[in-house]
Amino acid sequence: MPLSPADAIASALRELPATPLCVGYSGGLDSGALLHALAASPQARAQGLRAWHVHHGLHPQADAWAAHCARICAGLGLELTVSRVSVEAGHGDGPEAAARRARHAAFAADLGAGETLVLAHHRDDQAETLLLRLLRGSGPDGLAAMRERRDCGRGMLWRPLLSLSRAQLLAYAQAQGLEWIDDPSNADPAFDRNFLRLRVLPLLRERWPQADAAFALSARLQEEAAQLLDEGDALALAGARSLDPQALSRRALRALPPARRARVLRRWIAALGLPPLPAAGATRIEDELLHARADAEAEFAWHGAVVRAWRDLLHAQPQRPPLPADWSTVWDGRAGLALPGGGQWRLLGADAFPAPLRAHARRGGERIVLPGRTHGHTLKHALQDLGVPPWERRRLPLLSAADGELLAAGDLLYSARLDGWLRERGARLIWQN
């Protein structure tokens, strides 16, 4: 015998995470039913249950919706947090996705340490998400659709209702006499998700009544496949790593099958916190960087990030401009020196240099007398011997004495003269690039 809507929701919430709980509460039917069910749980309340409403400011009634959420939470005796966000379009995916992106960014930024964000996505939402990702040509990771659990900021995200239909939530809300907001934008088929909900899925259900359950099952199977792939990706990435987390061995990458290599590159980029690679990014890196000459300085750039090939390594990092060629300033070491384009140079362990020195950009042809040497070496060759990539050399600040002698290159090279002075005082330079 099928469970009643109340019993079905209670079953879905039976195993609560042993953490504080925060419900993402829009004021709509789904999150309203979830919040009401959790508020009826003494255990959830004991763990610090609260609600969180994100105010997008996109609808004329947005303030009224926030007030509705405050009234419902007050009636339930629950704390409500209201976050106002700015929705920025321009990613080519419309206002609906832009609002979702802003909402999840707020959740990730402000979720409490160890807290669980509970969202009310259900089986119908999962079907829509799977169809959208199929239409975008997603692979197993995307077709896993919405995961029941995943990391979120300093805590976790939990979707306990993915096995329940919207009809079950509606029946629960009606039986409990709940009030909720109906966002009129949900009835506009101009939005992709609404078009699927209003036009496509009803037609599919006419022919295949179990379509939603089948889609949910497919998403779960894809998640299992993605987990297996993820384990292999982690091993392959570990095998390609160098001592620098921002660099991978090109030789090790070339030894991987192309499909695995593409997944490893995307995983690496994500772990560095860089913008996701575009659709053709992995192919561009494969075609233009993996087999480039060791000294070619080949690169692929996107959305403020860049991957470069040099020697055996691929390097990934945010794009940073070189120091301006005419940059030069006097520095006495008493305070940190802010560098053009970001970064800082500091003297630690000493109050100041014995006399003001000149900090400046490279101009080419510089020579430095290294510790233990009596004759000068070209700075270019000294940096090459250290394995400093060319683009880092272009950002490297230099320090020279009043007589023009080169004393330091960032914190990578000291002259014999400066090295002795620093050692006497137990001091050093720190270059934060």
Q: Are 133 and 143 in contact (CB under 8 A)?
A: yes
Amino acid at 213: A
Asked whether residue 41 is marked as a ligand-binding residue, the answer is no
Strands 367-368 and 313-318: unpaired
Asked whether residue 30 is marked as a ligand-binding residue, the answer is yes
Asked whether residue 92 is marked as a ligand-binding residue, the answer is no
Q: Are 118 and 22 in contact (CB under 8 A)?
A: yes
Q: Report CA torsion sign: 316, 321, 324, 330.
A: negative
Amino acid at 224: E
Asked whether residue 83 is marked as a ligand-binding residue, the answer is no
**Sequence-distant (≥ 6) Cβ neighbours of residue 42 within 8 angstroms:** none
Asked whether residue 141 is marked as a ligand-binding residue, the answer is no
Asked whether residue 27 is marked as a ligand-binding residue, the answer is yes
Cα–Cα dist 360/383, whole Å: 17
For the annotated binding site for ATP, the residues are 26-31
For the annotated binding site, the residues are 26-31
